[in-house]
Amino acid sequence: MYDPAQLRSIHLSRFGDEPAIFAAPGRVNIIGEHTDYAEGFVMPAAIDFATLAAISPRADGKVVLYSENYAEQREFEASSLPAERSGHWTDYPLGVLAVLAGEGHTIPSFSLSLWGDVPLGSGLSSSAAIEVATALAVTALIDVGYPRPVLARLCQRSENEFVGSSCGIMDQFISANAAENNALLLDCRDLTFRLAPIPASVALVIANTMVQHAITGGEYTSRRAQVEEAAAVIARHRPEVRFLRDATLDDLERYGSEMSPLALKRARHVITENTRTVAAAEALIHHDLKELGRLMAEAHVSYSQDFEASCEEADAMVELAQDLPGLIGARLTGGGFGGCTVNLVEQQHAREFAAALGQRYAARTGIIPQIHICHASGGANRVQESIQAVT
């Protein structure tokens, strides 16, 4: 994580005021892909990369947003903030302000400096990190304390309604609620969760394929429609099934012939993935890493073949990891069609694993991947106390 003391001095010299500083992490999803909008289960962990937000009040009626990542500053009137997105990075903090205003809060005048080391646009959710860091900073300034699951929901709404991306709740939830050295099994139906410990002997190795094949989101939309088609067919026979969360493989056997072949395959992925995700949490809780690895391998095959959300490069990244020393499990993580794979690797082998995987992938595809060795980090928090301790 970038040094909060450095952001403090950037903020101080730019705005002349002592800031309060908050941090919110990015995340990686260990298992549970495209299950969130079927009201199912996901199991992400927060990672060591985070976005910092430094905030201080102003007296001139302005909201001033500065990103050190973009070295860019924009000013707005607190009393007439934009009601719509502009396609600029400021949409992310402005979206949070719009949602808070919609909840009845008066947005005060303040300066906000943002700085993150979550790689932007790599599927590690720099967007959730900036939203949660902003929300924590602004709610602290106006002295409002939301329970973390509610804060996460407000941030998700800001991304859905203001930024215009139809993401589920997972990213904001894990950023706001993570616990160090744990994965979090989240029930997307009611936002209840269980922590599942990741042993200190296990590293999260995140390998970026450096490709993203479907940036328009069209594939996401079509997958979602197919999943909903399958649920609607089952609901004709079993009205209590409103989402695939409630469906079984037996339902697919009985009613699958009434669905399009693609809806049937997509539903098979979602139904089996839900079962696998709950089983993966159980495996972690019972220290059964072998079973966890098996479930991750099965999840990748399902994601690649039934959901058809992988690509040649991601399949290669997973395949090339298989016989490397220390591998526990590997799969493509995130929305699909490129992005990153997540590899659970014995800590003692993590560096060699990362180096060897990078070489193999470059030799196979001609692309140099970015590979990050992370551990499961804690959730969003105020960090000023620790800075004062070191300054």
Give the Cα separation of 23 and 114 in Å (integer): 10
User: Considering CB under 6 A, how many residues would be counted as binding ligand ADP?
Assistant: 18
**Does position 156 bind Mg ion by CB under 5 A?**
no
**Part in contact with ligand ADP (CB under 6 A); list of ranges 54-62, 124-132, 268-276, 280-288:** 124-132
CB closer to ligand ADP out of 119 and 197: 119
Q: Can you name the residues that pair with 20 across neighbouring β-strands?
A: 55
- 372: tokens are 């990050």
The length of the chain in residues reads 391
**Does position 156 bind ligand ADP by CB under 6 A?**
no
Taking CB under 6 A as the criterion, the residue among 10, 12, 120, 179 binding ligand ADP is 120
What pairing do the DSSP bridges indicate for beta strands 327-332 and 381-382?
unpaired
**Does position 69 bind ligand ADP by CB under 6 A?**
yes
What SS3 string covers 143-175? Answer: CCCCCHHHHHHHHHHHHHHHHCCCCCCHHHHHH
**Does position 127 bind ligand ADP by CB under 6 A?**
yes
**Does position 333 bind Mg ion by CB under 5 A?**
no
Catalytic residue among 36, 91, 171, 246: 171
Secondary structure of the chain: what % helix, strand, coil (to 5)?
A: 45, 25, 30
Which residues fall within 8 angstroms of residue 236, CB to CB, at 6 or more apart? Answer: 255, 258
User: Considering CB under 5 A, how many residues would be counted as binding Mg ion?
Assistant: 2
Q: How far is the CB of 289 from ligand ADP (least distance, A)?
A: 28
Number of H helices and E strands in the chain, helices first, is 12, 12
Give the Cα separation of 291 and 282 in Å (integer): 9
88, 40 Cβ separation under 8 angstroms = no
Q: How far is the CB of 97 from ligand ADP (least distance, A)?
A: 14
- 319: tokens are 């395949």
Is 48 assigned a catalytic role?
no
Taking CB under 6 A as the criterion, the residue among 57, 61, 102, 121 binding ligand ADP is 121
Residue 114 interacts, among ligand ADP, Mg ion, none and using kind-specific CB cut-offs from 5 to 8 Å, with ligand ADP
- Position of minimal CB gap to Mg ion: 127
Half-sphere exposure (Cβ direction) of 264: Cα atoms closer than 13 Å: 12
**Does position 29 bind Mg ion by CB under 5 A?**
no
Taking CB under 6 A as the criterion, the residue among 29, 35, 67, 304 binding ligand ADP is 67
Residue 123 interacts, among ligand ADP, Mg ion, none and using kind-specific CB cut-offs from 5 to 8 Å, with ligand ADP
Intra-chain end-to-end CA distance of the chain, in Å: 17
Selection from 286, 296, 343, 351 nearest residue 320 by Cα: 343
**Does position 123 bind ligand ADP by CB under 6 A?**
yes
CB closer to ligand ADP out of 211 and 262: 211
Strands of 338-346's sheet, edge to edge?
Answer: 327-332, 338-346, 202-212, 370-374
**Part in contact with ligand ADP (CB under 6 A); list of ranges 40-48, 67-75, 229-237, 274-282:** 67-75
Taking CB under 6 A as the criterion, the residue among 35, 113, 122, 302 binding ligand ADP is 122
CB closer to ligand ADP out of 130 and 283: 130
**Part in contact with Mg ion (CB under 5 A); list of ranges 32-40, 125-133, 292-300, 312-320:** 125-133
Backbone angles phi, psi at 62, to 5 degrees: -100, 150
Which residues fall within 8 angstroms of residue 37, CB to CB, at 6 or more apart? Answer: 168, 188, 224, 227
Distance of CA 380 to the CA centre of its chain: 13
Q: How far is the CB of 27 from Mg ion (least distance, A)?
A: 10
Query: What are the C-alpha distances in Å from 4 to residues 19, 168, 285, 383?
Result: 11, 29, 34, 7
Q: How far is the CB of 261 from ligand ADP (least distance, A)?
A: 31
**Does position 127 bind Mg ion by CB under 5 A?**
yes
Q: How far is the CB of 304 from ligand ADP (least distance, A)?
A: 20
Secondary structure (3-state) at 226: helix
CB closer to ligand ADP out of 172 and 304: 172
Binding site for ligand ADP (CB under 6 A): 51, 67, 69-70, 89, 92, 114-116, 120-127, 130
Binding site for Mg ion (CB under 5 A): 125, 127
Q: Which residues are catalytic?
A: 171
